């Protein structure tokens, strides 16, 4: 158990819909990262938040957005969903920034039908 929690574990929704994935980092960790993992693309970095502020941005689509709240939990919002958005979405946290090891949550499996 990494100490990072993610909800829900599974999500099935239709194309065009909007979903919200939630992540609670390990106690004391200030940075939260979001990743998308699909079979053909590996682990893709989406976005990082540090202490409530956006810190780094990766291959995140404009239809996706995220935020980190004062209690440090984070939400990833995915809208206008397409079939290709079906993937595992991982949240990870670290003490501070990118040079520190990251602790991954169990992931949310999103299926878009």
Footprint of other proteins (CB under 8 A): 2, 33, 35, 41-45, 47-48, 55-58, 90, 92, 97-99, 101-107
Q: Which is nearer to other proteins, 56 or 73 (CB)?
A: 56
Task: State the CB neighbour count (10 A cutoff) for residue 81.
Answer: 20
Q: Which is nearer to other proteins, 18 or 57 (CB)?
A: 57
CA separation for the pair 5, 18 (Å, rounded) = 21
Structure-token pair, residue 103: 């602790």
Q: How far is the CB of 28 from other proteins (least distance, A)?
A: 16
Q: Which is nearer to other proteins, 14 or 101 (CB)?
A: 101
User: Is residue 12 within 8 Å of 113, Cβ to Cβ?
Assistant: yes
Angle at 106 between CA 101 and CA 108, to 5 degrees: 120
Q: Around 28, how many Cα atoms within 13 Å sit in the side-chain half-sphere?
A: 5
Q: How far is the CB of 17 from other proteins (least distance, A)?
A: 25
Q: Which is nearer to other proteins, 72 or 89 (CB)?
A: 89
CA 49, chain centre distance (Å): 10
Q: How far is the CB of 22 from other proteins (least distance, A)?
A: 16
Q: How far is the CB of 25 from other proteins (least distance, A)?
A: 14
């Amino acid at each position: 158990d990494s100490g990072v929690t993610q909800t829900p574990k599974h999500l099935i929704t239709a194309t065009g819909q909007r979903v919200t994935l939630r992540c609670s980092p390990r106690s004391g960790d200030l940075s939260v990262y979001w990743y998308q993992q699909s079979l053909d693309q590996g682990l893709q970095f989406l976005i990082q938040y540090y202490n409530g502020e956006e810190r780094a941005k990766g291959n995140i689509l404009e239809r996706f957005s995220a935020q980190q709240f004062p209690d440090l939990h984070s939400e990833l919002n995915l809208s206008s969903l397409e079939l290709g958005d079906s993937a595992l979405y991982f949240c990870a946290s670290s003490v501070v920034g990118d040079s520190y090891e990251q602790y991954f949550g169990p992931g949310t499996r999103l299926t878009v039908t």
